[in-house]
Amino acid sequence: MSSITLSPPRRRKRLMRYTKRDRAALSLMAGFPLLLSLAFVWLPALATVALSFFNWTGIGGLSDMKAAGLENYRIIFTIYPEFPPAIEHNLLWLVVFFVVPAPFGLYLAMQLNKQIRGSRIYQSILFLPVVLSLALVGFMTELVFSPTQGLVNNLTGHAGQNNLIDWLGNPSLNIWAVLIMAVWRQTGYVMILFLAGLKSVDPSLQEAASLDGANEWQAFRHVVWPALRPINIVVVVVTVIESLRAFDIVYIINQGTNGLQLLSTLITANIIGETSRIGFGSALATILLVISLAFVLPYVYITFRKDTRS
């Protein structure tokens, strides 16, 4: 029976122990990507936050921007009717993504990790929705959910004039149709992440546990789940990011109108295209950024502090 040993706590490496070459190498290795990220992601992001306090059409330069203070935010929170449904939908998305694709993806990964026959085929099929392009997913949503032409309504007899279920046009229903397609996509994605993470869990640990008399659930709880810690962190953050950033499917169906409002579609509607309400759109983007940061940063901070200390 193999015993499980714990490694000694990580020794603190002091900078003095690095050679000059090493220090240069490390600086470059981290520095150049950092520069890239700061220049092309953070700089525009901070500029966006700054822009939210101005009114600008996007044409021309600094002189064409007119200061607006908190006006854009006032409009968003008081008279912009698309905003409350968007927040609601994003939060709904978050809840659904935590409740359905994350556990289901984990379950599928656990089963497929057992190296049963055909697991590679199963994996491929389950991962397939992730690789399909936006146009195709949008078309498939139409094919399945269109009130008159869709599979669901025609198979259940609801495509007639009198008993139509309007999956795409009814603002209370269509978010669920979209969430079904989103979960369909997200599950494969999460499954792949868990599969890669499960590779770090030695099966002999599970063997040991089951030899000790534990059933599958107990083995999972006490052996596998703790070992999945690193990948759990990734999945949590990914779930939050994907729900707050959700855009594609909704956009391709109806561009985020009529019951499918999301923060990202609102931003698009106001920044992209000829609309050019840059300040207003930036304010929406800032709100989205703040919400995302509020979820993710504390979580990452806490988990990594814990890990560094352990």
Partner 1 sequence: MTSIKQATAPFGRRSLLKGALAAAGVAAMPSLAACSSSKSGGTEASDAVSFGCNAAVPEPKGAYQTLFTAAKAKTGLAVNVNWVDHNTFQQNITTYLQGNPQDVYTWFAGERMQYFAGQGLASNVNDVWNVIGGSYSDAMKAQSKGADGNYYFVPFDYYPWAVFYSKSLWASKGYSAPTTWDEYITLAGKMKTDGLIPLAFTDKDGWPAMGTFDYINMRMNGFEFHINLMRTGQGWNTPQVAAVFDQWKQLIPYYSPGFLGLTWQEGANQILNKQAGMMVLGLDQIGTIFTGSNADDLGFFPFPEINPTYAQDSVEAPIDGFMVCKSPKNSAGATKLLEYLGTAGAQQTWLGSNPADIATANGVDTAKYTQPQTAAIQLINSAKNLSQFMDRDTLPSFADPVMLPAIQQFLSSPNDVSSLLKNVDAQAKTIWATNG
Partner 2 sequence: MTAATFTSRPSATEPDGTVARSHRHRAGPLRYLLHAFLIGTCVVWIAPVLYALYTSLRPYADTAKHGYVSVGGSYNLSNYTTAWNEADLPLYFKNSAIITIPALLITLWLASMVAFVVARHSFKINLLMLMIFTAGNLLPQQAIITPLYKLYITIPLPGWLSDSGHLDDSFLGLILIHVAFQTGFCVFVLSNFMRTIPDEVTEAARVDGASEWRQYRQIVLPLCRPALAALATLEFTWIYNDFFWATVLMQTGANRPITAALNNLTGQFFTDNNLISAASMIVAVPTLVVFFVLQRQFVSGLTLGASKG
Site for partner 1 in 66-105 (CB under 8 A): 66, 68, 71, 75, 79-82
Does 127 participate in binding partner 2 (rule CB under 8 A)?
yes
Question: Exposure of 236 by Cβ count < 10 A (0-12 exposed, 13-18 middle, 19+ buried)?
Answer: middle
Distance CA(150)–CA(160), nearest Å, equals 12
Q: Would you give the DSSP letter of residue 66?
A: E
Closer to partner 1 by CB, 151 or 196: give it.
Answer: 151
Per-residue mark of binding to partner 1, 253-282 (x: CB under 8 A): xxx-xx----------xx-xxxxxx-xx--
Q: Which residue has the tokens 């700054």?
A: 50
Answer for the pair 303, 233: CB distance below 8 angstroms, yes or no: yes
167 binds, among partner 2, partner 1, none (CB under 5 to 8 A by kind): partner 1
Tell me the residue type at 14: R
CB of 169 to partner 1, least distance (A): 3
Q: What is the DSSP string of 87-109?
A: HHHHHHHHHHHHHTHHHHHHHHH
Does 180 participate in binding partner 1 (rule CB under 8 A)?
no
CB atoms closer than 10 angstroms to residue 17: 8
70 binds, among partner 2, partner 1, none (CB under 5 to 8 A by kind): none
Closer to partner 1 by CB, 158 or 245: give it.
Answer: 158
CB of 308 to partner 2, least distance (A): 7
Q: Retrieve residue 148's tokens.
A: 């008159």
CB of 166 to partner 2, least distance (A): 17
CA atoms within 13 A on the CB side of 4: 11
Does 157 participate in binding partner 1 (rule CB under 8 A)?
no
Q: Contacts from 21-24 at CB under 8 Å and sequence distance 24+? A: none
Which alpha helices (DSSP H) does 113-228 contain, by range?
119-131, 134-145, 151-155, 174-198, 203-211, 216-219, 225-227
Site for partner 2 in 226-265 (CB under 8 A): 227, 230-231, 233-234, 237, 241, 244-245, 247, 263-264
273 binds, among partner 1, partner 2, none (CB under 5 to 8 A by kind): partner 1
12 binds, among partner 2, partner 1, none (CB under 5 to 8 A by kind): partner 2
Site for partner 2 in 76-105 (CB under 8 A): none
Does 252 participate in binding partner 1 (rule CB under 8 A)?
no
Contact positions vs partner 1 (CB under 8 A): 55, 57-60, 66, 68, 71, 75, 79-82, 146-149, 161-162, 164-171, 174, 253-255, 257-258, 269-270, 272-277, 279-280
